[in-house]
Structure 1
Amino acid sequence: MVLLRSARFIHTVVTGIPKLIKEQVIPRHVAALQGPLLRYIHVLRPIPGFELSTNEEGIRLEKVEKQEANKDKRLRLIHESKTRPPLIVLLPWLMSKPKHIKKFSNYYLGHGFDVLSVRTTPGQTLWPVKGSQLVAADLVSFLELNPQYDQLLIHGFSVGGYIWGEVLVRLTELGISRGSPSPTPYEALAARIRGCIWDSACEFTELPRGVAKALFPNQNMLQNALESYAKYHMKVFHEKATQHHIRASQLFHSAAIRSPALLLFSKSDPIGTAKANIALHKEWTDFGIKVYTKCWEKSAHVAHYLNHPHEYIAEVTSFLQSINLIPGEEKNKTKMKVTNV
């Protein structure tokens, strides 16, 4: 009975999370303390959950009236130049804080890239039809509406792999609804993606544990209660939720967009397990994809940078050099300093 009541309470909390999400604005006095690099960063927030950071001033959002509901206008950017630097799409882990993602953004901004961070809440993940699938659809729209970004890199953490799977589902649906255009939505996007980095990628079967640890990282009793509820949720709501998780996972594994990939994982991670990542490496290699891996003996879920900062940056830099997104001998002075933040 106690577990049932706990599950009902947790269900109420989780389903209400999307309503609590508000667009964040960085106060000027706070931005002034963020270091010399960020003083020249321009941040655009077209819709809740989407944040675009750039080093250049010649980019802005299209003006939209408050009462206007056309989301495409909110996602379309106005560029003064015809070309843009490479765009990094960050797909953070659940409940990650801006300070956690900031160090990754700074690294890419330091190399002159634009950075798009796309956040997802636990509630959106548990209810994909009205949650994560809408996020994926918005991401696809953003990429289609801004073709100036002709060099893309995807850097996903944990559940970010699932969100990318939903992006692939969306591309499939668009291909069917549009008939047989040339190129297809898949082909058009694949031509722009230079590579993918997956940090602590996990199977959808580990979603209950991942959601529980994200919401209650230091409370074992609540973790166990939420994990039990999430497993119950996936069994009871198969048609409304779980079948969509399975479909997204299938497309993620099928590597429909076959760009080079870097897998970062550890033997001690119980969520993004080494076994699952090694199996993923074999699957993608069999498809002919060039896959790089880095496996640490001991490192917590999505904490590989925190535990091994120098090695992490070295692996990412080497990967970017291998796909020609940065030169072999990068001497950019604004590169991120390696710190355990």
Structure 2
Amino acid sequence: MSASNFLSKLRRATPQVVNCFRGAQLYHRQRVASDVYPPELIVLFTWLGAKQKYAYKYANCWTQRGHDVLHITTTVRDLLFPKTGAEVTASRVVDFLDKYDKSVIIHGLSVGSYLTQRVLLQARDATFRVTHQMFDSFTTCSGIEAGVENAVNPRYRDIAKKSVKLYTKCADLSSINEAQRFALTTPCPAPIMFIHSLADKVAPYSEVVPIIDAATKVCPVRLHIIPAEENVPHVTIMKCLGEEKYMGMLYDFIEEYREPGVMGCTSEVKSSSPGRAESPNIAALS
């Protein structure tokens, strides 16, 4: 059976999904041809209020390649009331991962990167191990006003901008600021990949540069930056690149920093297509 036919057959399969706790679902891996499965659990953090059908597309990219996937939805409550939202969600994620007893690969999308930082911050004394971090359209709190304004329908931009200004003025942002400081001062030392479009108006690349600079001080960093002239909007990189090129890019990164002797992805379900514009450090792009 050819690789393309095999992948088509896998896409028609539906992975088993189990509700774990508020905002979390576990997608069980699908059977792969070799019966040799990658050892890591993928923890997928999606954007604010991501619909199930979109979360499924990203989760399915991993399950059809033999990974179990813990999908964490970033909710409005996580952001607006972080003490009872994001911090509680992060604690539940940490407890789950400690009990699951597998190495972890993180795949964060958009504002899911904030929730990821809360998990990493609260997991400093945990027993599970993060082997890789991958962030697509990393979104920081420093650009929240412009981000929200550009994310909503133009007819609602004025009210959205006023609402965010009121929120940032009156709300308790200590939890969000703590996560930001963590990413800037003591980030997780696991190898990290940033995937970003220079045409992203919701999460401008300039807001992510300090996060990248901080990461380069403690771990290997790979960048995949899409030029502005390609007009790739926020969180549409996989759609624009295509699943095979996108996942091939992620797997190339995973394999590069996989420990010797650890079984990786099988050739039947891995794309090895190169990315468009990669650099090992920020210097080449700043």
Other-structure match for 1:257? 188
Other-structure match for 2:136? 199
| Equivalent-residue separation in structure 1 for 2:188 and 2:44 (angstroms) | 17
1:116 to 63, 70, 79: 70
CA contact (8 A) 1:89 1:117 kept: yes
Q: Which runs of 5+ in 2 are unaligned?
A: 1-7, 32-36, 272-286
Q: Deviations for 1:237-271, whole angstroms, at most 9, x for unmatched residues?
A: 2xx2x122111111122344200001000111123
Question: Secondary structure at the residue paired with 2:203?
Answer: coil
CA contact (8 A) 2:38 2:66 kept: no
Other-structure match for 1:303? 236
**Residues 264, 333 of structure 1: alpha-carbon distance in 2 compared, 3 angstrom cutoff:** closer
CA contact (8 A) 2:19 2:25 kept: yes
Q: Which runs of 5+ in 1 are unaligned?
A: 1-33, 58-82, 173-183, 336-341
| Equivalent-residue separation in structure 1 for 2:269 and 2:97 (angstroms) | 30
CA contact (8 A) 1:263 1:277 kept: no
| Equivalent-residue separation in structure 2 for 1:312 and 1:121 (angstroms) | 26
1:314 corresponds to 2:266 = no
2:119 to 167, 170, 173: 167
CA contact (8 A) 1:212 1:224 kept: yes
Other-structure match for 2:276? none
1:133 is displaced (CA, Å) by: 1.2
Other-structure match for 1:42? 16
**Residues 115, 328 of structure 1: alpha-carbon distance in 2 compared, 3 angstrom cutoff:** closer
1:281 to 212, 233, 242: 212
CA contact (8 A) 2:183 2:211 kept: no
| Equivalent-residue separation in structure 1 for 2:110 and 2:90 (angstroms) | 16
Q: Deviations for 1:69-112, whole angstroms, at most 9, x for unmatched residues?
A: xxxxxxxxxxxxxx993100000001211222222212211221
| Equivalent-residue separation in structure 1 for 2:267 and 2:38 (angstroms) | 21
Measured on the aligned residues, the alpha-carbon RMSD in Å equals: 2.8
| Equivalent-residue separation in structure 1 for 2:237 and 2:23 (angstroms) | 24
CA contact (8 A) 1:195 1:261 kept: yes
1:55 is displaced (CA, Å) by: 2.9
1:209 is displaced (CA, Å) by: 4.4
CA contact (8 A) 1:52 1:115 kept: yes
TM-score, normalised relative to structure 1: 0.67
Question: Secondary structure at the residue paired with 2:62?
Answer: helix
**Residues 283, 170 of structure 1: alpha-carbon distance in 2 compared, 3 angstrom cutoff:** closer
| Equivalent-residue separation in structure 1 for 2:38 and 2:269 (angstroms) | 21
Larger Rg, first or second structure (1 or 2): 1
| Equivalent-residue separation in structure 1 for 2:148 and 2:65 (angstroms) | 33
> For 1:164-243, what aligned pairs fall within 5 Å after superposition?
164-171=116-123, 184-185=125-126, 188-189=127-128, 192-211=129-148, 216=152, 219-237=153-171, 240=172, 242-243=173-174
CA contact (8 A) 2:136 2:235 kept: yes
1:212 is displaced (CA, Å) by: 5.6
Question: Secondary structure at the residue paired with 2:70?
Answer: strand
Other-structure match for 1:99? 53
Question: Secondary structure at the residue paired with 2:224?
Answer: strand
**Residues 329, 230 of structure 1: alpha-carbon distance in 2 compared, 3 angstrom cutoff:** closer
What is the one-letter code of the residue matched to 2:117? G
Question: Secondary structure at the residue paired with 2:83?
Answer: helix
| Equivalent-residue separation in structure 1 for 2:246 and 2:38 (angstroms) | 27
1:35 is displaced (CA, Å) by: 6.4
| Equivalent-residue separation in structure 2 for 1:110 and 1:56 (angstroms) | 5
TM-score, normalised relative to structure 2: 0.78
CA contact (8 A) 1:110 1:332 kept: no
1:123 is displaced (CA, Å) by: 3.0
Percent of residue pairs identical: 22
1:53 to 9, 14, 27: 27
CA contact (8 A) 1:94 1:211 kept: no
Q: Deviations for 1:188-233, whole angstroms, at most 9, x for unmatched residues?
A: 34xx21100001112212234445666x4xx212133122211211
**Residues 231, 321 of structure 1: alpha-carbon distance in 2 compared, 3 angstrom cutoff:** same
Q: Deviations for 1:140-174, whole angstroms, at most 9, x for unmatched residues?
A: 11112222x1x2100001111111222234346xx
2:106 to 154, 167, 176: 154
| Equivalent-residue separation in structure 2 for 1:250 and 1:324 (angstroms) | 28
